[in-house]
Amino acid sequence: MSFTRWVTIYGPTYATALVWTAITALAAACGAIVWGCLLLLLRLSGGGWGARAVDGYVQLFRNTPVLLPIYLIYFAFPLIGLPWPAVVCGTLALILQNGAYVSEILRGSVNAIDRVQFDAARSIGLAPWSTFRKIVLPQVLVYSIPALGNQIVLLLKDTSLLSAISITELTMQAKLLTEQTGAAYEAFIVVAVLYLVLVSGTEVAFRVTHRAVRWL
Amino acid sequence: MPAGSLALLTQGAVVSLLLAAGAIIGGTLLAILLAAMAFSRFAAVRIVYRVYVYIVRGTPLLVLALILFYAMPALDLRTGPYIAGTLVLIIYTGALFAEVFRGGVLAIPRPQWESARSLGLPPLAMFRKIVVPLVTRYTLPSYVNVCVMTFAVFTILGLAAAFYFVMCFGIDRLGRMLERHLALRGFAGVRA
Amino acid sequence: MIAIRGLQKSFGAVQVLHGIDLDIADGEVVALIGRSGCGKTTLLRCINFLEEYEAGEICLDGEPLWYRPGSDGARRRVPEAEARRMRQQMGIVFQQYNLFPHMTVLDNVVLGPRFSQAVSAPEAEALGRRLLARVGLEGKMAAYPAQLSGGQQQRVAIARALAMRPKVLLFDEITSALDPELVGEVEDVIRSLLSDRIMMVLVTHAVGFAREVAHRIAYIADGAIAELGPPSEVLDRPKDPGLKEFLRRVRA
């Protein structure tokens, strides 16, 4: 069947899947950034054991494949009495995984902040939490924008793995359509194009934000 | 049975390692070609590079693998997930390594390029003695990162395959047990 | 000798060199001085074709360099292999990042002779040792650039340029990036080269050193040579008002 016909027939089906991809990606991205900030806070304020705990967490999630937490949470949570829907499990797994990477990105940016600023903050009597909130965090987030952009793009692509737990996002949709109609080329090329659009959109969004914020 | 599945698991791990190594070698070779394209004097060739990297990096690995697996009929049935996975990973790591190499070339300070040109070094000598050593130094951490990522992907395949094999063999054993049992009960073995 | 006629160079819409005429006699040392952005470095880089130029001619010992009229009469770049041959007759030393960090000092020096001039390995090594001894670094032959001070690195860079047996040496502000106490050792090496009677073109801010080693000094302003002559005239009896102002600032 011709390409245009395919698109007109299955357009709406793809649209739903696209929304699922976008929603999970957005939710996981926000969650991962917040979780990464919390991990950073723990690292900075927890003294020796805080930093070690966060390091252990990061090592754990860095050295295991992304699919593992997804499967684990999806299959194990019902067994411990938390029968959450697949979407929640998948998003949670993505948050835990990417939060580790986000905290590493933020850690790199913290080192870029001049030590002098901490001395200045202490000498005006600023409490640690306020120092973190008003001095560390804003600068760290601004410095991290390019690297965070990269990470969010990776997260966006990782949403395709949620197809493994039967969430009907773009990749799952492509598989379903292939099984239904046998038209593998059409099914997957449309999905690839949609991913490219999402990825480009995200990259542009981060570039624009980076430029805008640097002006301030 | 437990000992058997442990052997299968290790076998799966070894196979994963070998295929990952193959993907990395293939990806590196492809990347050298791609990086050369990235610096070509012909704009058309550079565009081809940019488009290739854009598509390969903008699409999830799973989608690329499925495209190859489903939509390339010449490969899928006969080769199974291992070869398709290696092929996809060569394509993917090729793009990643190429960007890493390209960054390394751009990181060479301009006076060093100019020193090499001013010494009148022929292109082969320049590549062998200047570009390759410097780019290797600059890109080693990023290169290793990509290698680690590749191994991680293959462990997924290895794990999945190991489970698959374990289950298959388990079912197979069960089937044979049943056959023996039935044969003892007077049924002639039905062999396909 | 070098003959430069009508050299014009633009970067995009900005014309940086507005027609340079300059002759350099055999064994002569010419210093190029001027304010930042005047075009002195661009001029230097055109001489060994690190920058292309739109109009003008550069001749070395009568041979026109870098461009040649094509079969249709239009101006054409010479083929890359020939450009390489031409470049081998010139040595250049930059302000920074001269040496290849992944090679020892000796390997840096012999690289050119071995791979561009097909000198045999033992001969190249002997040449390298001689030159490194000459710049006072024979004890550092197996060291890597990172282990050397800035002044030592520049001296190695000069040895590397000399290893090609060039007809002309080009220096692009080679002491500007050095700590003050290291400048002297590099200037000493340049002084020692005077007896070799190689042509030298120095772009420099060190007006005092230029006075000492240069046979002529060219003051460049707005992409043209505003004043040219021996140091005693250019520095002590400047005519160009821009030059007077420049010298006043440099001395103050």
Chain B residues whose CB is inside 8 A of the C99 CB are: 115
The answer to whether the CB atoms of A192 and B156 lie below 8 A apart is no
The domain ranges of chain B are 3-150, 154-192
Could you say which residues from 70 to 89 on chain B have a Cβ atom under 8 Å away from some Cβ of chain A? Answer: 70-71
Query: At residue B190, does pLDDT exceed 50?
Result: no
User: C90–B118: do the CB atoms touch at under 8 Å?
Assistant: yes
Task: Answer positive or negative: Cα dihedral of C51, C56, C61, C65.
Answer: positive
pLDDT of residue B182 exceeding 90, the answer is no
Alpha-helix runs per DSSP H in chain C: 40-47, 80-87, 105-116, 121-134, 150-163, 180-193, 207-213, 231-234, 241-251
Examine chains C and B and say if they touch (3+ CB pairs below 8 A).
yes
Q: Which helix (H) or strand (E) holds C20?
A: strand C14-24
| CB nearest A65 (choices: B58, B60, B153) | B153
* Yes or no, beta carbons of B63 and A161 under 8 Å apart: no
For the ranges B19-23, B105-109, B148-152, C120-124, which has the lowest average pLDDT? B148-152
Yes or no, beta carbons of B120 and C102 under 8 Å apart? no
Please say whether the beta carbons of A17 and A173 come within 8 A. Answer: yes
**Cβ-defined contact of A65 to B63 (cutoff 8 Å):** no
Q: Is A209 exposed, middle or buried (0-12, 13-18, 19+ CB in 10 A)?
A: middle
List C-alpha distances in Å: C193 to B10, B145, C100, C139.
69, 50, 23, 21
State the pLDDT at residue A187: 85
Categorize the per-residue pLDDT at B158 as very low, low, confident or very high, splitting at 50, 70 and 90.
Answer: low
Which helix (H) or strand (E) is C172 found in, with range? strand C168-172
Give the N- to C-terminal CA distance of chain A in Å, as an integer. 53
8 A C-beta contact, residue A208 and residue A49: no
The beta-carbon neighbor of C48 closest among B118, B122, B130 is B118
Residues C21 and C24: their CA atoms lie apart, in Å, by 10
* Residue B18 binned pLDDT confidence (cut-offs 50, 70, 90): confident
Q: Which chain B residues are within 8 Å of C115, Cβ to Cβ? A: 119, 121-122, 125, 129
* Structural contact between residues A65 and B152, judged by C-beta atoms closer than 8 angstroms: yes
- Specify the pTM: 0.79
Cβ–Cβ gap A196/B60 under 8 Å: no
Give CA–CA dist C27/C194, Å, rounded: 8
Q: Does B141 touch chain A (CB under 8 A)?
A: no
CATH of domain B3-150: 1.10.3720.10
For C33, the token pair is 């001085």
Q: Do B134 and C116 touch (CB under 8 A)?
A: no
Q: Check whether B188 has a pLDDT greater than 70.
A: no
Residues from C in contact with B at Cβ < 8 Å:
48, 50, 81, 84-85, 87-88, 90-92, 94-103, 111-112, 115-117, 157, 160, 164
Burial pattern C158-173, b for ≥16 Cβ within 10 A else e, equals bbbbbbbebbbbbbbb
* Regions of chain A with pLDDT less than 70: 1, 215-216
Distance from CA of B89 to the nearest CA of C (A): 32
Q: Tell me, yes or no, whether chains B and A touch by having 3 or more C-beta pairs under 8 A.
A: yes
Nearest to C84 among B110, B120, B129 (CB): B120
CA distance B115 to chain C (A): 7
Q: Name the CA radius of gyration of chain C, rounded.
A: 18
Across B115-147, b (16+ Cβ under 10 Å) vs e yields bbbbbbbeeebbeebbbeebbeebbeebbeebb
Q: Which residue has the tokens 């044969």?
A: B183
Q: Which residues of B touch C85 (CB under 8 A)?
A: 120
Instruction: Kindly tell me the sign of the dihedral angle through the C-alpha atoms of B108, B112, B114, B119.
Output: negative
CA–CA dist C210, C192 (Å, integer): 14
Q: Structure tokens of A21?
A: 């991809």
Q: Which chains sit next to C, with 3 or more Cβ pairs under 8 A?
A: B
Are the beta carbons of B118 and C111 separated by less than 8 Å? no
With CB atoms and an 8 Å threshold, state whether B122 touches C90: no
Q: Is the pLDDT of residue B68 over 90?
A: no
The nearest CA of chain A is from the CA of B189 a distance in Å of 36
Distance from CA of C170 to the nearest CA of B (A): 11
How many other CB atoms are there within 10 angstroms of residue C51's CB atom? 16
DSSP B187: P
**Integer Cα distance of B22 and B86 in angstroms:** 7
- What pLDDT score does B191 carry? 42
**Tens of each residue's pLDDT in chain C, 252 residues:** 999 999 999 999 999 999 999 999 999 999 999 998 889 999 999 999 999 999 999 999 989 999 988 777 778 889 888 999 999 999 999 998 889 999 999 999 999 999 998 899 999 999 999 999 999 999 999 999 999 999 999 999 999 999 999 999 999 999 999 999 999 999 999 999 999 989 999 999 889 999 999 999 999 998 999 999 999 999 999 999 999 999 988 876
Q: pLDDT at residue B74 above 70?
A: no
Q: Report whether C8 contacts C57 (CB < 8 A).
A: no
Q: Please state, in angstroms and rounded to a whole number, the distance separating the CA atoms of residues B133 and B122.
A: 16
Those of residues 13-52 in B touching chain A at CB distance below 8 A are none
Q: Is the pLDDT of residue B192 over 50?
A: no
Q: Is the pLDDT of residue B186 over 60?
A: no
Query: At A182, is the secondary structure helix, strand, or coil?
Result: coil
Q: How far apart are CA B115 and CA B130, in angstroms?
A: 10
Q: What is the mean pLDDT of chain B?
A: 81
pLDDT of residue C94: 94
A–C touching, 3+ CB–CB pairs within 8 Å: no
Nearest-by-Cβ selection for C94 from B114, B130, B133: B114
